[in-house]
Amino acid sequence: MFANAPTKMRESGALKLRVGDLVEMNPAAMLNGGGLALVMAVCEEKELKGLHEVRYLKDDYEIMADDMIDILRVVSRHEGR
């Protein structure tokens, strides 16, 4: 197993993230460290299932992140739809 993997591994796409969800990032997996981030875009392509564009709240840093290792959990769901 990877050193930066969360203790509980999940399937890609299992978090069912949507644009606007607030997520907690894995500090061991991300160069920008941990913290909270907003999901800005969700990849719809089958080959990229589980990849999301996120923006850190602490410094507006935007990056692609996967929901298996990079994103630890959903802090708050966007319910605007």
Which residue do the tokens 């990877």 mark?
2
Distance between CA atoms of residues 79 and 32, nearest Å: 27
Provide the pLDDT for residue 9.
73
Residue 75: count other Cβ atoms within 10 Å of its Cβ. 11
pLDDT in tens, 17-31: 999 999 999 988 888
Residue 7: pLDDT band (50, 70, 90) is low
pLDDT above 90: residue 50: no
Distance between CA atoms of residues 72 and 68, nearest Å: 8
pTM of the shown model: 0.82
